[in-house]
Amino acid sequence: MNNDPKSLFLGSHCGLSGPEYYLGTVKEALSYNSGSFMFYTGAPQNTKRTPLNQLRIEEGRALIKEAGLDESKIVIHCAYIINLANKENTDIYELGKRFLSQEIKRAAAFHVKSIVFHPGSHLKHGVEYGLESLIEAFDEVLQNDDTDVKIAVETMAGKGSEMGTDFSQIAYLLTHVKRKDKLGVCLDTCHINDAGYDVNDVDGVLSEFDKIIGLNNLLVLHVNDSKNPIGAHKDRHENIGYGHIGFQTLSKYIHHPLLVNVPKILETPYFEGKAPYKKEIEMLSSGVFEPDWRDHL
């Protein structure tokens, strides 16, 4: 079994804050022995962003190189307040398009290739309206894009009128945008569990994903346990082995031969103020679970 987080591209969400900014992000990832990581370019709940020239990007990149991480597996998560699934709310829709195109430019400045993107909520207008709103927005934002950055549309849990709760919706987006070269997918284990997929049937999930979306379009895997049973439509992440999915299943995703090249990112909650990632990465890469591990953080 490959138990090196570096060649598994296994890592976690990390922060980006002053004074070290990206240099600090990379240091945090390395402190967990990560083989990859994901970060927000600023606070996820707003669209204010520190200018790129203050983010110490080149120092962070130098440390990535020195540590031997594959820069092409690093991921940005787009701010989740933007909603491009409801074009009727023009203020939010226009702001969202502007923010997404700036986010693509920022990702390019970080030399990051994938931006995880929540497809948003249709807000009582129905799934078809949501899909049309998203496609119009993608077509406008991406038409003249000359970066090598891709949007990884995330599978969602189905809270309220959330979009992206089944593979066919996401496949529709991928096949109906004009720039088919710019869209891919982020599969989140907690979200598909909550959306109603039998996440424990790993081969079944991956073969359905392949049939409907195509595994070649899978850009990122989010590795989370879930506080809720299958189909709960809740979206509450749990630490590895403490939720309804369990360690064995999550470990299967980490080591699955079809997912070798996919970056695998933990977004599990802190426990009593402490980051769980070092331990979770150690257990998932070795395949050995330590019961009650949170008590010894």
Which residues of the shown chain bind Fe ion in the complex (CB under 5 A)? Answer: 154, 188, 222
Please give the full DSSP string across 248-262, using - where no structure is assigned.
Answer: HHHHHHHH-GGGTTS
Closest distance to Zn ion from the beta carbon of 80 (Å): 9
* Residue number, 166 or 235, with CB nearest to Zn ion: 235
Q: To the nearest 10°, report the CA torsion of 285, 191, 155, 77.
A: -60
Binding partner at 222 among Fe ion, Zn ion, none, C-beta below 5 to 8 Å by kind: Fe ion
Element (H, E) at 247: helix 247-255
**Contact status, residue 118 vs residue 156, Cβ threshold 8 Å:** yes
Closest distance to Zn ion from the beta carbon of 224 (Å): 7
- The closest alpha carbon to 122, from 86, 74, 78, 158, belongs to 86
Position among 153, 235, 250, 280 found at the interface with Zn ion (CB under 5 A): 235
Please give the full DSSP string across 191-236, using - where no structure is assigned.
Answer: HHHHHT--TT-HHHHHHHHHHHT-GGGEEEEEE-EESS-TT-----
Closest distance to Zn ion from the beta carbon of 158 (Å): 11
Piece in contact with Zn ion (CB under 5 A), picked from 25-33, 142-150, 227-235, 273-281: 227-235
Closest distance to Fe ion from the beta carbon of 295 (Å): 26
* Residue number, 222 or 279, with CB nearest to Fe ion: 222
Rounded Cα distance, 201 and 203, in Å: 6
Paired sense of beta strands 237-238 and 225-226, if any: antiparallel
Closest distance to Fe ion from the beta carbon of 89 (Å): 21
* Residue number, 78 or 149, with CB nearest to Fe ion: 78
Which pair of structure tokens corresponds to residue 9?
Answer: 């591209």
* Residue number, 77 or 97, with CB nearest to Zn ion: 77
Binding partner at 235 among Zn ion, Fe ion, none, C-beta below 5 to 8 Å by kind: Zn ion
Binding residues with Zn ion: total (CB under 5 A): 1
Rounded Cα distance, 292 and 7, in Å: 27
Q: To the nearest 10°, report the CA torsion of 203, 179, 113, 101.
A: -130
Which pair of structure tokens corresponds to residue 167?
Answer: 């593979």
Three-class DSSP category at 221? strand
Closest distance to Zn ion from the beta carbon of 185 (Å): 15
Piece in contact with Zn ion (CB under 5 A), picked from 123-131, 171-179, 228-236, 248-256: 228-236
Distance between alpha carbon 238 and the CA centroid of its chain, in Å? Answer: 16
Closest distance to Zn ion from the beta carbon of 129 (Å): 24
Q: To the nearest 10°, report the CA torsion of 10, 3, 216, 61.
A: 40
Binding partner at 194 among Zn ion, Fe ion, none, C-beta below 5 to 8 Å by kind: none
* Residue number, 228 or 286, with CB nearest to Fe ion: 228
Q: Which residue is nearest to Zn ion (CB)?
A: 235
Binding partner at 113 among Fe ion, Zn ion, none, C-beta below 5 to 8 Å by kind: none
Residues lying near Zn ion in the complex (CB under 5 A) are found at: 235
